[in-house]
Amino acid sequence: MNFALFDPDAMTEADYEAITEMRARIFALDRPGTPPLSLAATIALMTEVDAAALAARIFWLARGDAGELVGFGQVSMPEQENTDTAIVFLEVDPDRRRQGIGTAFLRAVLPSIQAAGRTRVLAMNVTTDADGERFAEAMGAVCTIRGLVQTLDVAAADRTLWDIPAPQGYRVESWNGAVPEDSLVSYARARTAIADAPSQDHEWEPMAWTPERVRAEEALFAESGQEYRQAVAIHESSGDVAGITELVLRPADPTHAQQLDTAVHHPHRGHRLGRAMKAELLRSLVTERPAVQRVTTATASDNIHMIAVNHAIGYTDTRRQGFFETKVDDLAARLG
């Protein structure tokens, strides 16, 4: 068994094809209802900056004794908030599971995690009641938050569900690109409101949004070539941004949009702004990007309100997932 850091200069198209094919088998088993990535999307995932990611990703590849690909993993280490955490992602070919590959992967990446001074290992978006959850628990990890993945099939959606007027006293607008300067401060404040979302037992330091951080993110999206789209609710009397909802489109996968956060600043809650913003976001998306076939989103399972909002505009439930975590020292002791 060989684990090696991903080296883009050493990769051939056949290598990327092998990763794409293996992950298609993994998706069929671990992510039912989710189409696998194309070859182009796989290459983009591994070689291009993802402006929507929590941190830069370091990829690892696992190969068997004959050089065949048997596993795919990545490690991310946040650099602003949550600097105690290493985010670990691991996939093993379904035909090669229960052969110690996952455990060997953790042994391979653990030294770099320890060297970075991280004290917590976190696995995100692990499909529950499946191999990933069983492996995480075998490694001593506990689930700190459970969530629901939902999908909107654009072709099958009833678009009349998106005919939702803005609540009285507000207007809803679509924004693509830079936030207008006169809205920047209230916009950053509205984005910070995501910190109030249900988090169960998951301890996570939310991003501290400032005007400067907003501008830095906009620059990163522009550099990456990814399209960042938003709908915002504006409070008419003050002109402040009362709420935001956001999604990202990646050039290598133009049929898929990923719905990200939806947040409403506390003084403006209770007016159904979330549903109005999400409906506006979908209306503008399908009009301006007709190639999009599906939109996916993930929500904490106890955020009943947002799950209901998603159902009301046409999303259906796809799969359940969880975040699993353990202490670095505990993992090291378990691995021996």
Q: Are 198 and 329 within one domain?
A: no
Q: Are 144 and 163 within one domain?
A: no
Look at residue 203 and tell me if it is in a domain: yes
Helix axes 131-138, 13-30, angle to 10 degrees: 90
Q: Are 162 and 298 within one domain?
A: yes
Look at residue 305 and tell me if it is in a domain: yes
d(CA 53, CA 91): 18
Look at residue 153 and tell me if it is in a domain: no
Q: Give the pLDDT confidence score for residue 66 in this predicted structure.
A: 93
Q: Are 39 and 113 within one domain?
A: yes
Share of the chain above pLDDT 90, in %: 90
d(CA 11, CA 310): 40
195 pLDDT higher than 90: no
Comparing C-alpha atoms, which of 293, 227, 232, 221 is closest to residue 262?
Answer: 232
Q: Are 24 and 42 within one domain?
A: yes
Q: Give the pLDDT confidence score for residue 8 in this predicted structure.
A: 93
Q: Give the pLDDT confidence score for residue 87 in this predicted structure.
A: 98
Q: Give the pLDDT confidence score for residue 202 in this predicted structure.
A: 85
* pTM confidence score: 0.93
Q: Are 165 and 298 within one domain?
A: yes
Q: Are 141 and 168 within one domain?
A: no
> What is the domain extent for residue 79?
2-148+322-335
- How far is CA 60 from its chain centroid? 19
Q: Are 237 and 215 within one domain?
A: yes
In tens, the pLDDT along 209-224 reads 999 999 999 999 999 9
Q: Are 212 and 269 within one domain?
A: yes
- How far is CA 53 from its chain centroid? 7
In tens, the pLDDT along 210-268 reads 999 999 999 999 999 999 999 999 999 999 999 999 999 999 999 999 999 999 999 99
Look at residue 126 and tell me if it is in a domain: yes
In tens, the pLDDT along 52-93 reads 887 889 999 999 999 999 999 999 999 999 999 999 999 999
Domain count of the fold of the chain:
2
In tens, the pLDDT along 128-171 reads 999 999 999 999 999 999 999 999 999 999 999 999 999 999 99
Q: Give the pLDDT confidence score for residue 49 in this predicted structure.
A: 87
Q: Are 276 and 215 within one domain?
A: yes
The two most distant CA atoms of the chain are separated, in Å, by 68
300 pLDDT higher than 80: yes
Look at residue 247 and tell me if it is in a domain: yes
pLDDT level of residue 201 (50, 70, 90 thresholds): confident
- Which of the two residues, 199 and 7, has the higher pLDDT score? 7
Share of the chain above pLDDT 70, in %: 100
In tens, the pLDDT along 19-29 reads 999 999 999 99
Q: Give the pLDDT confidence score for residue 197 in this predicted structure.
A: 78
Q: Are 72 and 40 within one domain?
A: yes
Look at residue 170 and tell me if it is in a domain: yes
Residue 12 neighbours by CB under 8 Å, 6+ apart: none
Look at residue 176 and tell me if it is in a domain: yes
CATH number of the domain residue 41 falls in? 3.40.630.30
Mean pLDDT for 266-282 is 96
pLDDT level of residue 196 (50, 70, 90 thresholds): confident
pLDDT level of residue 282 (50, 70, 90 thresholds): very high
286 pLDDT higher than 90: yes
Bridging pattern class, strands 69-76 and 316-327: unpaired
CB 1 within 8 A of CB 64: yes
Q: Are 200 and 330 within one domain?
A: no
Look at residue 186 and tell me if it is in a domain: yes
d(CA 117, CA 101): 25
**What's the mean pLDDT when you consider all of the chain?**
95
